[in-house]
Amino acid sequence: MYLASAIIVTKNRRDDLCRAIDSLLGQSILCQIIVIDDGSTDGTQELVTDKFPAVSYLRHERSAGYIVRRNEGIQFASSEIIFSIDDDATMPDATTIESTLSEFDDHRIGAIAIPFIDVLKGPEVKQLAEDPTISCATASFIGTAHALRRKVFIDLGGYRDFFVHQGEEGDYCIRMLDAGYFTKLGSAPPIHHFESPLRDTTRMNFYSRRNDILFPWCNVPIRYLGAYWITTTLNGFRHGIRIRRLYITVRGLLSGYATIFSHWKDRRPVSIRTYQTFRMLKRKGAIPIKELTNLI
Report yes or no on 19 lying in a domain: yes
Domain identity same for 105 and 29: yes
Domain identity same for 79 and 112: yes
Contact 143, 88 (CB under 8 A): no
pLDDT attached to residue 296: 66
Domain identity same for 81 and 151: yes
Report yes or no on 296 lying in a domain: no
Last residue of a domain, one of 143, 175, 193: 193
- Give the domain range for residue 258: 201-269
Q: How far is CA 96 from the centre of its chain?
A: 17
Report yes or no on 288 lying in a domain: no
- Tens-digit pLDDT string for the chain (296 aa): 789 999 999 999 999 999 999 999 999 999 999 999 999 999 999 999 999 999 999 999 999 999 999 999 999 999 999 999 999 999 999 999 999 999 999 999 999 999 999 999 999 999 999 999 999 999 999 999 999 999 999 999 999 999 999 999 999 999 999 999 999 999 999 999 998 877 888 999 999 999 999 999 999 999 999 999 999 999 999 999 998 999 999 999 999 999 999 999 999 999 999 999 999 999 999 999 999 877 66
Burial of 91 (0-12, 13-18, 19+ CB in 10 A): buried
Give the number of domains in the chain: 2
Domain identity same for 161 and 84: yes
pLDDT attached to residue 1: 76
pLDDT attached to residue 211: 97
Domain identity same for 63 and 177: yes
Contact 20, 8 (CB under 8 A): yes
Predicted TM-score (pTM) of this structure: 0.95
